[in-house]
Structure 1
Amino acid sequence: MSKLWGGRFAKNTDVMVEEFTSSISFDSRMYRQDIAGSIAHARMLAQCGIISQDDARLITDGLNDILADIEAGNFSFEVSLEDIHMNIEKRLTERIGPAGGRLHTARSRNDQVALDTHMYVREQVAAIGGLLFDLEQAVLDIANKYPETIMPGYTHLQRAQPILFAHHMLAYFFMFERDFRRLGGVWESADIMPLGAGALAGTTFPIDRELVASELKFGRIYENSIDAVSDRDYILEFLSFASILMMHLSRLSEEIILWSSTEFSFIELDDAHCTGSSIMPQKKNPDVAELVRGKTGRVFGHLMAMLTVAKGLPLAYNKDLQEDKEGLFDTIDTVKFSLTVYAAMLRGLKVNSGIMRQALKNDFSNATDMADYLVKKGLPFRQAHEVVGKCVAYCLNEHKTLADLSLAEFKQFSPLFDMDILEAITIETCVAARNSLGGTSPAQVRQAVTVAKSIMEKQQKHLDMYTKIKL
């Protein structure tokens, strides 16, 4: 088959080279973006008097027919035509004749593919933003469902201090909130139109880039034609966003896996979100959490691959940049699936509040509060720390907890202890006392929920803006 660029060549392309350089197997998913961009380009060419209005109408009608064929499954993509752009243009020319050959006036595949990818990423930001929003709501729903549940807080995976379970879950809400903000940055970088840059230097034709940008609802236009065709920052930013998001999901997955184990039994996952064993009948495996944790490495890999591709490229376009798409598309699919299944899993999660509370009865999570008690009685913190440390050591030798000690035993370690010490170190008192801004007290957690709801109201406005821009 003759190539659309074949005039300079005396030999046909080797079949292996065709297969190696072809991108149609993966960039065909951008057919709607490619057709929308071509229609906008054709209308602009006619508006500027570069092609006739009749040709523009033929091109537009032909492209719409091709769009209908693709969506009906009646379009065969050919590897020999390399990519989505040439597959569509070749079919268009076959259908409408010479007018189809005028479509590529004043553009290159370099700025055409950049346009398609910008539009595709922008569209996926809207879709992923909606899924991330739903995940945040699922986390917030859990916090609201268990407002009084107390659990052990950990550092180094060792019991540290008692906290509200809602406080723990809200930590993830605010991680995801930062992810949403990073996604907004991806939107801003994707919302720049590259078409009109040509291969790298612009075009000799009197085009109107603002007209195309307006039709395709872009907020900005690239100021530099070389940058327009070589920029992949928005893809790197998306992969970076996705990597951080998946890291957050992986951290939560690790906790869900631990909490759902028999050793913890803090939570129980719904049967619908678990699997069993082919050999061990008793097993209930947290596969969703495990797979998300595993897929995180896959997303990290795509970020590193793209950074490596881009790091040594001279300006402007190089074929290496074709490697930007498979990792991008796989990351988009992975993130969308992970967010969808994760929100469903969280909504089916059951918290064993009694077991969480029971776990605090046999540890020393209230030791810091005992030290604070002594500080409030006038003892310097370092001395108070030492006193409580000796109390803990005594308890370990006597197989007791701090709450088991009598006043006489307390006074062996400091005369500052009085009858109010037992109330001061109850788990409920320890939690309620941490009323500093952002702390785990019920009052602070209620305030955090209010803040979270306000954040989501603002996020909804961003989502409304993203979803208004449709092809």
Structure 2
Amino acid sequence: MTAANVLWASRFRAGPSPELMALSRSDASHFRLAPYDLAASVSHARELVRAGLLTQAEGEAIEAALAALGSEIAAGTLLPADTDEDVHTFLERALTEKLGPLGGKLRAGRSRNDQAANDLKLYLRDRGRRIVLDLLALQEALALQAERHLESVAPGFTHLQPAQPVSFAHQLLAHAQGFARDIARMQDWDRRAARSPLGAAALAGSAIAKQPELSARELGYDGPCENSIDAVGSRDHVAEFLFVAAMMGVNLSRLAEEIFLWSSRQFRWVELDDAFATGSSIMPQKKNADIAELTRGRAARLVGGLGTMLTALKGLPFAYNRDLAEDKRAAFEAVDTLGAVLPAMAGMVRTMRVDVDELRRQATDGFTLATEVADWLARRGVPFSEAHEITGRLVRYCEDRRIGLEDLDEEDLAAVDARLNASVKTGLTPEAAVGARDGYGGTAPRRVAEQLARLRSDFDGQRAWAMCYDGPRY
């Protein structure tokens, strides 16, 4: 590569070495930013017209050429060359090939520093909304299953040990609540990311592009960044995006883990649709929850990307440093990972079949109704500490005789404590236990139905936000 092939070569006597360019050239994935760079270039061309560096006719010619480049890139007829160091070099070369020296005028008043920060921010603001739409598809799948299973009782667990019966819908919506917070986090992130770096140039601001508030508005931002050094030297908006993605990955992994367990022969709660499961090349009987397993694995990438970005930022002096180029690698992997995982998870959840009878059979395994006994005693004036001790003895009595709480008769109850009588058994069904938890947020079916209605109402607002974006979208 010769010195003429890079944007920074004017003060050098020789071109960069192959070793330097092998390290310096952007990864091929970075060229996905081309449409966002073109959109920003249109705004910058208008700024140069306002500044008097371009005539109106020159500005219109540049805008037309930029639009043509966008069409060619979208059609796959314009591709970066091996000699293009990055997306900015690629597009300036292509523009100059179309317009000659006029294409070189566009570089005035800006830097790759503010361009790079802006391109990625535009990309993430766009893709963040697409991620939300994909996550809402998973939310709808969870809501659909929950609607079917408001009355289905299932064992609830703590420490992965049977604890108390719950509505299976309640268990599903516990995951939906976490995803709802993920969407809220993405919305919060977007509000903080809605500041344009354009006009910051290399670090000190531009002596030419002096109205960045206008280009900010054109690109869908709330306004320009307050400080030009911060605009080019900060990537906390990338780190925060990666945190949102990582938290989403953790929540996806927890759902995946549960589905993996539920679909196992040991649990037998759900059966996965054939289209969303895989088999074994050697064991013909196998039906594997590979989507769940792959999701757990990909979550590690999301967590790792956040760690990479935070480590890259740690100790960096202001303003721009090439270390910041790691932002794109981490951000693109997060976007691509979620783009693959979310639709697969949504399909798996939407199509899985729930064995309601098996859920009910297991709902009382492990003495999950013991708390009902303790509550029954407490409502009759027995201090709960004493009620807890009595119920513990009752469980040991059942264990010794290999019977369940539902198998106890009047004589058994009296043998443990004289205050126990047959009326306690009226509450010893999973339906009664679930129905008794009817406070706000509880597992009683009517409360779960209310929770589901509120969630679906939130979905409408979240979908409207994700689909309403004033910035460039490609």
Match of 1:375 in 2: 378
Moved beyond 4 Å, runs of 4+: none
Match of 1:7 in 2: 10
Cα deviation, residue 267, structure 1: 0.4
Which whole-Å deviations, capped at 9, do the CAs of 1:297-331 have from their partners, x for residues lacking one?
Answer: 11111110011000121000001111111111011
CA distance in 1, matches of 2:106, 2:472: 24
- Whether the aligned pair in 2 keeps the contact of 1:236 and 1:303 (CA below 8 Å) is yes
1:464 has 2:460 as partner: no
- Whether the aligned pair in 2 keeps the contact of 1:250 and 1:289 (CA below 8 Å) is yes
TM (norm. structure 2) is 0.97
Match of 2:197 in 1: 194
Match of 1:311 in 2: 314
Match of 1:211 in 2: 214
SS for the counterpart of 1:38 is helix
CA distance in 1, matches of 2:419, 2:77: 85
CA distance in 2, matches of 1:466, 1:134: 19
Cα deviation, residue 148, structure 1: 1.0
Cα deviation, residue 367, structure 1: 0.3
CA distance in 2, matches of 1:467, 1:294: 35
Which whole-Å deviations, capped at 9, do the CAs of 1:258-308 have from their partners, x for residues lacking one?
Answer: 111111100000000111111101000100000001111111111100110
1:95 has 2:98 as partner: yes
CA distance in 2, matches of 1:345, 1:80: 44
RMSD of aligned alpha carbons: 1.4
Which residue identity is paired with 1:432?
Answer: G
Match of 2:359 in 1: 356
Which residue identity is paired with 2:379?
Answer: K
CA distance in 1, matches of 2:151, 2:7: 68
Cα deviation, residue 467, structure 1: 6.9
Match of 1:282 in 2: 285
Structure 2: tracts of 5 or more residues without a match:
none
Gap change, CA 1:246 and 1:213, over 3 Å in 2: same
Match of 1:434 in 2: 437
Which residue identity is paired with 1:14?
Answer: S
Match of 1:179 in 2: 182
SS for the counterpart of 1:103 is helix
SS for the counterpart of 1:148 is coil
Q: Paired residues, what number?
A: 471
Which whole-Å deviations, capped at 9, do the CAs of 1:189-246 have from their partners, x for residues lacking one?
Answer: 3321000001000122252112211221211210100000012111111110111111
Which residue identity is paired with 1:397?
Answer: D
CA distance in 1, matches of 2:7, 2:253: 47
The more displaced of 75-84 and 13-22 is 75-84
CA distance in 2, matches of 1:470, 1:221: 19
1:292 has 2:302 as partner: no
Cα deviation, residue 426, structure 1: 1.7
Which whole-Å deviations, capped at 9, do the CAs of 1:347-373 have from their partners, x for residues lacking one?
Answer: 111000000111134430000110000
The more displaced of 443-452 and 325-334 is 443-452
Cα deviation, residue 24, structure 1: 5.0
Which residue identity is paired with 1:279?
Answer: I
Match of 1:230 in 2: 233
Which residue identity is paired with 1:441?
Answer: A
Identity of aligned residues (%): 39
Cα deviation, residue 42, structure 1: 0.3
Cα deviation, residue 80, structure 1: 2.8
Match of 2:62 in 1: 59
Structure 1: tracts of 5 or more residues without a match:
none
CA distance in 1, matches of 2:162, 2:216: 56
Match of 1:106 in 2: 109
The more displaced of 37-46 and 62-71 is 62-71
Aligned ranges 1:51-200 → 2 under 5 Å:
51-200=54-203
